[in-house]
A and B are shown apart, each in its own frame.
Chain A
Amino acid sequence: QKEVEQNSGPLSVPEGAIASLNCTYSDRVSQSFFWYRQYSGKSPELIMSIYSNGDKEDGRFTAQLNKASQYVSLLIRDSQPSDSATYLCAVKGLRRNFNKFYFGSGTKLNVKP
């Protein structure tokens, strides 16, 4: 089992819709969770971090964490074509490697005008 799993996509949504990106991880010990956005040919950019169960909202982005289910998601409201990118889920602290970040392979999002 991979430490962090994401559906590779592509996930296609129309402009203005809600995009829902999902991620599961393998270890209940993990404490810190992050979402990065990576445009083609660019470096990953941190967009959200979440540490506690529940929802965390920042503008059009909402991160959701369910530690019991070992599941973290990212919702993008009012999706824009500029949101088209690959979204990487990262988990810190798997297998008690508390300072190591584990990345999923990313979900490619296409927002169609």
Chain B
Amino acid sequence: NAGVMQNPRHLVRRRGQEARLRCSPMKGHSHVYWYRQLPEEGLKFMVYLQKENIIDESGMPKERFSAEFPKEGPSILRIQQVVRGDSAAYFCASSRQPQTSGRPSHTGELFFGEGSRLTVL
């Protein structure tokens, strides 16, 4: 499967536990984005990463949430000490290498994984 792979698809945690969500980007894609979506609401940007670097984490809550994209292996979104309000669908998306200059790129469409649905009891 050449698409964006996320796991687990469904995760149930009790309050106070940790949740780890994994994302493998499409082949040839070096950039990963994480979004959160509550039922009947829009996509909320969380973080944008490239290998070993966090590019933009302006959408990440300051506490309990962290993300990484190591040199080897998938990107991981980690939520510590989960609370009921963390229950949501978490989508990972990937794109190809964007431009490195200041000029905008016309490439780099964003492709989404199937999502990980977190339920906090």
Q: Which A residues are within 8 Å of any B CB, using their own CB?
A: 29-32, 34, 36, 42-46, 49, 51, 88, 90, 92-93, 96-106
Residues of B89-109 at the interface with A, using a CB-CB cut-off of 8 Å, are 91, 93, 95, 98-99, 102-106, 108-109
Interface residues on B, range: 20 to 34
Complex CA gap A44/B45 in Å reads 14
B110 at the interface (CB under 8 A from A): yes
Is A100 within 8 A of B43, CB to CB?
Answer: no
B55 partner residues in chain A, CB cutoff 8 A: 99
* Interface Cβ pair total, 8 Å cutoff: 69
Binds A, one of B13-21, B60-68, B73-81, B112-120: B112-120
Nearest 4 pairs of A and B residues by beta carbon: A105-B42, A31-B104, A99-B98, A43-B112
29 contacts between A and B (CB under 8 A): A29-B104, A30-B104, A32-B104, A32-B105, A32-B108, A43-B91, A43-B112, A43-B114, A44-B43, A45-B112, A46-B111, A46-B112, A49-B109, A51-B106, A88-B42, A92-B110, A99-B31, A99-B55, A99-B98, A99-B99, A99-B105, A100-B48, A101-B45, A101-B93, A102-B45, A103-B43, A103-B45, A105-B41, A105-B42
